[in-house]
């Protein structure tokens, strides 16, 4: 809300609160008629349920005392929505927003579109609901305007969208056009990848405001958007991803059992696909990049070693700029320093891969080698199956495996 306000975009009065007392004071300043919203980075908050049984992450209140009570039931609790999984997301803050009485709600977004090679504005007269449902049930109600990034937004484009969304009175029409233009300015200047306003609404007295928003920003722009990225709430993020980010690793946590250490994003995706094809489930996407340091390799293994879901680690390296024998030395150092106990399947291919394999064989460390990615994935999956069977039977298995 503050960011949009800095671009001259109309938003409701909003205060961020960390305690029930702060929520009470904020609501009192707004006359007691307010909306309390759980600050959880997930969609579907309004229909969500807190683990303490409290229903709804977006609640209206008629008094400051009621705002305090609602905040007390939200703060410190996990909110479960359709986007969070059963464990939910922690609610450490709430916002208290002025309550506005809306005449109509619309939808507006700007996102990067591969088909049009640039930004596209998307709008619909049906706001306040899932745009996916609108697109499925009434696709003719979705309007779009591709933007030439060199020319910027043209007046004719926002005029067409304002008309399509139903802002037909001269006052609301001009306000809607101005908001869309300023949102595009925010989108470009702040390196956004998505600006979604739902709803973009008209109040009973003719004002047009962005009532709620979802904004995403390009991770590659951290160096010039440091103030934005400093605002990240790490409590809303996967702890593994926070650790990986601090160590310069490209990592996304998943819920499988086969940890992946790969150099190259495309190869990492292919590795995950082959694991799935072999009947297993990857525990992560992890791209070391083309010039990973020994410290980064160690941190990658530390991350997977600490993940209780990871049963097997599959290392898939294609040596190009980074030679396989150098990677092999890094693997040995990481495994030795960390005392990695989880089974390792290693596939090395490319520059000096034979030398790399010999380095590993001579190390005396227990690593299962594979020349083919399909073979490596099959071995990793088979080891997982053995471990799972052993766990069910409550048998301790020493893995000194030669798989045929």
Residue 212: which CATH number? 3.30.470.20
DSSP conformation class of 43:
S
Shared-domain flag, residues 19 and 160:
no
How far, in Å, CA of 165 to CA of 200, rounded? 10
How many domains is the chain partitioned into structurally? Answer: 3
Indicate which CATH number applies to the domain containing 352.
3.40.50.261
Cβ–Cβ under 8 Å, residues 283 and 322: no
How far, in Å, CA of 27 to CA of 118, rounded? 41
Q: Given pLDDT bands bounded at 50, 70 and 90, which one contains residue 394?
A: low
Is 143 in a helix, a strand, or coil? strand
Shared-domain flag, residues 253 and 379:
yes
Tell me, what's the pLDDT at 401?
Answer: 45
Residue found by looking up tokens 């400093």 in the block = 230
Last residue of a domain, one of 208, 228, 248: 228
Last residue of a domain, one of 228, 249, 264: 228
Q: What is the mean pLDDT of residues 108-135?
A: 90
DSSP assignment of 274-296 equals HHHHTT--BSEEEE--TT--HHH
Q: Which residues are catalytic?
A: 107, 196
Q: 395 pLDDT exceeds 60?
A: no
Indicate which CATH number applies to the domain containing 89.
3.30.1490.20
Q: Output the six-digit token pair for 56.
A: 């709804």
Residue 190 to residues 4, 218, 282: CA-CA distances in angstroms?
11, 9, 34
Cβ–Cβ under 8 Å, residues 211 and 199: yes
Which range marks the domain in which residue 165 is found? Answer: 102-228
Q: Given pLDDT bands bounded at 50, 70 and 90, which one contains residue 295?
A: confident
Residue found by looking up tokens 């001269």 in the block = 170
Shared-domain flag, residues 40 and 142:
no
Q: Which backbone phi and psi does 267 adopt, to 5 degrees?
A: -65, -35
DSSP-assigned beta bridge partners for residue 196: 109, 214
Shared-domain flag, residues 387 and 242:
yes
pTM: 0.76
265 domain residue, yes or no: yes
Tell me, what's the pLDDT at 20?
Answer: 97
Tell me, what's the pLDDT at 287?
Answer: 87
399 domain residue, yes or no: no
How far, in Å, CA of 160 to CA of 144, rounded? 10
Last residue of a domain, one of 98, 123, 146: 98
Shared-domain flag, residues 25 and 156:
no
Q: 403 pLDDT exceeds 50?
A: no
DSSP conformation class of 57:
S
Q: Which backbone phi and psi does 32 adopt, to 5 degrees?
A: 85, -20
Give the DSSP H or E segment for 39.
none
Q: 402 pLDDT exceeds 50?
A: no
How far, in Å, CA of 384 to CA of 122, rounded? 45
Q: What is the mean pLDDT of residues 31-39?
A: 94
Closest to 1 in 3D by CA, of 10, 55, 74, 248: 10
Shared-domain flag, residues 127 and 109:
yes
């Amino acid at each position: 809300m503050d960011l949009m306000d800095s671009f001259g975009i109309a938003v409701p009065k909003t205060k961020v609160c960390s305690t029930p007392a702060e929520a009470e004071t904020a609501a009192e300043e707004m006359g007691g008629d307010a909306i309390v919203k759980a600050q959880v980075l997930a969609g579907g908050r309004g229909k969500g349920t807190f683990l303490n049984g409290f229903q709804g992450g977006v609640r209206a209140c008629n008094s400051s005392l009621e705002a305090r009570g609602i905040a007390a039931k939200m703060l410190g609790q996990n909110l479960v929505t359709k986007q969070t999984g059963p464990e939910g997301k922690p609610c450490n803050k709430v916002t208290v927003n002025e309550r506005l009485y809306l005449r109509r709600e619309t939808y507006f977004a700007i996102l990067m579109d591969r088909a049009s090679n640039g930004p596209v504005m998307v709008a619909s007269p049906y706001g306040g609901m899932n745009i996916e449902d609108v697109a499925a049930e009434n696709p003719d109600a979705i309007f779009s305007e591709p933007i030439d990034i060199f020319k910027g937004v043209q007046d004719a484009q926002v005029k067409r969208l304002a008309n399509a969304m139903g802002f037909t009175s001269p006052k609301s029409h001009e306000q809607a056009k101005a908001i869309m233009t300023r949102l595009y300015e925010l989108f470009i200047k702040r390196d956004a990848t998505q600006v979604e306003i739902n709803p973009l609404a008209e109040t009973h007295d003719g004002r047009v405001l962005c009532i709620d928003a979802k904004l995403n920003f390009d991770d590659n722009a951290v160096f010039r958007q440091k103030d934005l990225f400093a605002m990240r709430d790490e409590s809303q993020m996967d702890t593994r991803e926070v650790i990986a980010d601090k160590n310069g690793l490209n990592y996304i946590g998943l819920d499988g059992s086969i940890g992946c250490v790969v150099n190259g994003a495309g190869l990492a995706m292919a590795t995950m696909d082959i694991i799935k094809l072999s009947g297993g489930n990857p525990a992560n996407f992890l791209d070391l990049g083309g010039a990973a340091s020994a410290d980064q390799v160690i941190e990658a293994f530390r991350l997977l070693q600490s993940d209780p879901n990871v049963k097997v680690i599959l290392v898939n390296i294609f040596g190009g700029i980074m030679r396989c024998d150098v990677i092999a030395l890094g693997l040995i150092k990481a495994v030795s320093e960390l005392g990695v106990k989880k089974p390792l399947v290693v596939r090395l291919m490319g520059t000096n891969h034979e030398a790399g394999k010999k380095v590993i064989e001579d190390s005396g460390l227990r690593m299962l080698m594979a020349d083919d990615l399909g073979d490596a994935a099959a071995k990793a999956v088979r080891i997982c199956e053995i471990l799972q069977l052993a766990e069910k039977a409550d048998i301790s298995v020493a893995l000194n495996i030669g798989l045929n």
